[in-house]
């Protein structure tokens, strides 16, 4: 297996292990591994398509079903079997409305409609894709907006096409799609702005650094809070998400700390900070798990690009930080490698 794929595969593999067993006798994990292997061999597209179809029929409802449907939609799209691609994409959209792959799938289905010149069908998909990518601050947002402008143009909605073009110019200045849309609409493209200097990479955090004073949403009442509200207390921050398989065990362990360490009461905040797509997704998962012993929060829209995980240079999850009473970083790393009780105990002495 290629090293580049291992982190993604490990998340999905663990996620499948937590799902309810299928009514069939086949093993969803074994079937998923086979699909992963087939995806890496470009000569095995027919076998991949067949394996994906079988998985969706046999293991419908498992946590990997949405990913397999996306694999199927992408493989058939790349093979120019657009009707089959749309069928798989539609199944994902209709049955997995909270999937992190939803926006990408709308974009993919829109592309299939575009390539078959079904602009009326493409338009709502590109509109949904643009709105989703823009909300997530995803790099594909201008690409989706470009196709949205195309869709409006080819469905005889010139005002909407012009509006999309203006949004493209103002929100994404200098992107490569502006000139193409300008030509399509018979407009003169603006001169490209000078490329800005590359932003310096942030210095990695070290023990003793001041902890960024992030803002987040308190899930119990949707109130906005900030880290400095808890100055004078030890704060343990665990960045996690409902879709992250490896996050589940550390989150479950966090629920036990309060009962095991009653001396922490009023001195320690055990913050579970979700980077889920929406607060509702996090709340639903927390309720299902019964995880109410942590201070449950949400970092805002954008996933890893949201301000809170960005401020803490979170590149992967789970990721934990221990902040001391003075607002300084006392420890950081994977929660499984941190002895949180020992670290917190040392800070309370």
Q: Are 318 and 241 in contact (CB under 8 A)?
A: no
Residue 118 has pLDDT above 80, yes or no: yes
Does residue 16 carry a pLDDT above 70? no
Residue spans of alpha helices (H) in the chain = 6-17, 28-39, 45-58, 65-78, 82-95, 102-115, 119-136, 141-154, 158-171, 177-185, 248-260, 279-289, 307-311, 340-348
SS3 270: strand
pLDDT in tens, 295-343: 999 999 999 999 999 999 999 999 999 999 999 999 999 999 999 999 9
Which one has a higher pLDDT value, 5 or 330?
330
pLDDT, residue 25, reads 57
Q: Cα 112 vs. chain centroid, distance in angstroms?
A: 23
Pairing of strands 234-240, 329-333: unpaired
Dihedral over alpha carbons 214, 219, 220, 223 (to 10 degrees) = 50
pLDDT of residue 195: 66
Give the DSSP H or E segment for 323: strand 319-323
- Mean pLDDT rounded to a whole number for the chain: 89
Question: What pTM, to 2 d.p., does this model score?
Answer: 0.52
Residue 63 confidence (pLDDT) = 65
Domains and CATH numbers, the chain: 3-185 (1.25.40.10), 215-348 (3.40.30.10)
> Which CA distances in Å does 323 have to 115, 209, 332?
52, 10, 9
**Averaged pLDDT, 92-120:** 94
Task: Check residue 37 and give its pLDDT.
Answer: 86
Q: Looking at residue 3, what is its pLDDT?
A: 40
Higher pLDDT, 196 or 46: 46
Region 86-90 average pLDDT = 95
Q: Is residue 86 predicted with pLDDT exceeding 60?
A: yes
- Residue 45 binned pLDDT confidence (cut-offs 50, 70, 90): confident
- Tell whether the model's pLDDT for residue 42 goes beyond 90: no
Between 199 and 276, where is the model more confident? 276
């Amino acid at each position: 297996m290629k090293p580049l794929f291992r982190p993604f595969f490990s998340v999905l593999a663990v996620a499948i292990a937590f799902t309810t067993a299928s009514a069939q006798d086949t093993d969803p994990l074994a079937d998923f591994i086979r699909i992963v292997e087939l995806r890496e061999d470009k000569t095995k597209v027919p076998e991949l398509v067949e394996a994906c179809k079988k998985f969706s029929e046999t293991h419908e409802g498992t946590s990997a079903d949405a990913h397999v449907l996306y694999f199927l939609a992408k493989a058939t799209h790349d093979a120019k079997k657009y009707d089959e691609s749309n069928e798989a994409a539609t199944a994902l959209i209709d049955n997995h409305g909270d999937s992190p792959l939803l926006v990408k799938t709308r974009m993919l289905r829109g592309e299939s409609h575009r390539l078959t010149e079904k602009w009326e069908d493409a338009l709502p998909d590109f509109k949904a894709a643009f709105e989703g990518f823009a909300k997530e601050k995803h790099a594909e947002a201008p690409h989706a907006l470009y196709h949205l402008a195309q869709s409006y143009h080819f469905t005889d909605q010139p005002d909407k096409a012009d509006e999309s073009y203006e949004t493209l110019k103002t929100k994404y200045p200098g992107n490569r799609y502006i000139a193409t849309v300008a030509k399509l609409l018979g407009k003169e493209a603006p001169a490209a702005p000078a490329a800005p200097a590359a932003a310096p990479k942030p210095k990695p955090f070290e023990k003793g650094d001041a902890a960024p004073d992030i803002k987040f949403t308190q899930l119990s009442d949707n109130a906005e809070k900030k880290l400095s509200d808890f100055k004078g207390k030890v704060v343990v921050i665990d960045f996690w998400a409902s879709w992250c398989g490896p996050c589940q065990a550390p989150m479950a362990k966090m629920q036990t700390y309060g009962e095991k360490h009653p001396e922490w009461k009023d001195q320690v905040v055990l913050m579970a900070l979700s980077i889920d797509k929406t607060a509702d997704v996090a709340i639903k998962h927390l309720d299902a798990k019964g995880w109410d012993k942590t201070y449950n929060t949400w970092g805002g829209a954008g996933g890893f690009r949201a301000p809170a995980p960005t401020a803490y240079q979170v590149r992967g999850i789970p990721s934990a930080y221990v902040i001391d009473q003075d607002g300084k970083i006392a420890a950081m790393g994977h929660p499984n490698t941190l002895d949180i009780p020992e670290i917190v105990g040392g800070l309370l002495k």
